Structure 1
């Protein structure tokens, strides 16, 4: 997992890199221009804050929000880690986090009158249990799935979780949550046309601009 964001108006010239969920007991180490965040008990690294980030990555001056890091970016950041005495290495994550999914089955949530438990197929035929509150949820539809490790347009990060005691791995998205142009401002999963894209493919955000027309 590799999630990066840069919000200079809110946090200054700091690149935040997230590698995993926060640990219950965190260890925070300050190494000159890098802050290393890890699990106090296992030393599992959960993230870094790169200070004065635009000095290492000048292209950040044109960014505000989520950053899709390239291998060249990581080479620069790994050099920063090395120069700050850290042995950690960042690796490129090319796994798409927003994919076309197929809802194979839907059943009622035993502890909720509005939640549904879905079995939703994603890439490579893998099926996930995803709990959804979408009022239009049904079987045999194509949807957009935000997988674990996805950062939503509003900054929300998708982690594994539970909804009222039922496991939910990922999220089935609405058009408005994805900030798709002209998407209706109401709850409900974005149901894709059957011939839109193949199940498991990375969701084409550029193509989605034609999904809703006024």
Structure 2
């Protein structure tokens, strides 16, 4: 679940729970809650929470625009508001960090591209995940930053499972420019982190990044 707060459209908390894949969407509103769903299937892809500060008034993050990271208590408060408004669906709290230290453990060339690599990446899960990457410095053993499904990039791009030229990809290996880090090199390539860092750790730009 991706949570963002947007004062440009009013006091609105937006929750993205699935990829609409560009399909036509509609919404239904009950009280302060609007459910966004795919017209064809009725599947829920998001929620808009109006007058958000009146519901989550303790969140200091609501003073700014951008992505929020909700606590388990925040999610429970929202679920109570859902029930109060007449919705039966339940939000699930997700404690998994979305930007993590990752290590490329296997890599082969994409069968339908002259520059893409199909990487098996250790992100701290039981098994490596597959991520398609086009960085020229991608190599086995490199520690870098992976944006996992459910991440929001600084430019607003949402990370969902997908495919690049027919090959499944479950995240994104990030450059310093893509993460808008200070003094990011203006060259192509993913971040190269210290080998001393542990895979699966939440990426902290203040302590883990040096230009």
Does TM, normalized by the shorter one, top 0.5? yes
SS at match of 1:114: coil
Moved over 6 A (4+): none
CA distance in 1, matches of 2:163, 2:62: 38
Please provide the CA RMSD for this pair.
2.0
SS at match of 1:17: strand
SS at match of 1:119: strand
CA distance in 2, matches of 1:85, 1:143: 44
CA distance in 2, matches of 1:192, 1:199: 11
Further displaced range: 61-70 or 39-48: 39-48
SS at match of 2:77: helix
TM-score by length of 2: 0.89
1:4: Cα distance to partner? Answer: 0.3
CA distance in 2, matches of 1:61, 1:119: 37
* Runs of 5+ consecutive residues of structure 1 not aligned to the other structure: none
Q: Counterpart of 2:204?
A: 204
SS at match of 2:35: strand
1:8: Cα distance to partner? Answer: 0.6
Q: Counterpart of 2:173?
A: 172
Tell me, yes or no, if the aligned pair for 2:100 and 2:200 is still in contact at 8 Å.
yes
Further displaced range: 36-45 or 181-190: 36-45
CA distance in 2, matches of 1:81, 1:16: 14
Matched, 1:34 2:43: no
Q: Counterpart of 1:76?
A: 77
TM-score by length of 1: 0.88
CA distance in 2, matches of 1:189, 1:56: 40
* Runs of 5+ consecutive residues of structure 2 not aligned to the other structure: none
